[in-house]
Amino acid sequence: MNSLVAQIDRAWYSRFGANWDDQLFREKILAHLRPDSAVLDLGAGAGIVSQMNFRGRAASICGVDLDPRVLANPFLDEGRLGDVASIPYKNACFDLAFSDNVLEHLKEPLAVFREVTRVLKPGGLFLFKTPNKWHYAPTIARWTPHGFHQWVNRLRGRHEEDTFPSCYRANSKFAIHRLANQCGLSIMSIERFEGRPEYMRLSWPTYVLGAAYERLVNANEVFAPWRVLLIGILRKPFPTAP
């Protein structure tokens, strides 16, 4: 890595390591995980993000993905090949479901939210982390071809096979509220975060620009709609008494 980039890392972002966003999301999940929880990882994939390994911290960790590598995902007690818009599990069998960088890829998010609602037990939680569509990185992604995304991720050391087309149909606070209301989920929290500007760490000039943006959007809550991450917690209500 460019030595000036490394110097900026140490000087301005010493608290942030690789996958800092996944570590933040992990802490959110652990706060709600119990030893007796039945957990579903939506879009579990091959199990390449170590922060999403909760095996041994819950009664069972299941995962669903269209990627056949899910069947050998080492983070799961059971992996099933399937579409998250048609989850291959019975009704009301999970205490907690989570998705890490999945919502941005959904073509029909309402169908997925309905399926998540179906498989959660009453009182069950759905936690998600996804890019905020109004941040500059998703904005650029929406206006550029998939090949460009693969090229950028190659520069960042990510394999092409782990770069998936994005739709950004469930990637704003407004969109999440609308989807939750349509599915009968209650919103416990939707938080927006901006941290180390990962996509701008390709060179020191771009890093400085990214750092300036980060300081701006973190300066006041009025700028929160332009932060990079959405982390939400939704709950399936208990049935009301007749």
What residues have CB less than 8 Å from 119, skipping those under 6 apart?
40, 87, 89, 90, 91, 92, 93, 94, 97
Tell me the residue range of the domain where 46 lies.
Answer: 3-235
Q: How many domains does the chain have?
A: 1
User: Considering the domain boundaries, does residue 134 fall inside one?
Assistant: yes
Residues of the chain scoring pLDDT < 50:
151
Torsion of CA 212, 102, 181, 91, to 10 degrees: -150
Q: What is the pLDDT of residue 153?
A: 54
Q: What is the pLDDT of residue 204?
A: 93
User: Considering the domain boundaries, does residue 84 fall inside one?
Assistant: yes
User: Considering the domain boundaries, does residue 103 fall inside one?
Assistant: yes
Q: What is the pLDDT of residue 40?
A: 98
Cα dist. 158→8, 48, 152 in Å?
A: 22, 11, 9
User: Considering the domain boundaries, does residue 227 fall inside one?
Assistant: yes
Q: Say if residue 111 is exposed, middle or buried (CB neighbours under 10 Å; 0-12, 13-18, 19+).
A: middle
CATH code at position 102? 3.40.50.150
* Global confidence as pTM: 0.89
Q: What is the pLDDT of residue 147?
A: 62
User: Considering the domain boundaries, does residue 242 fall inside one?
Assistant: no
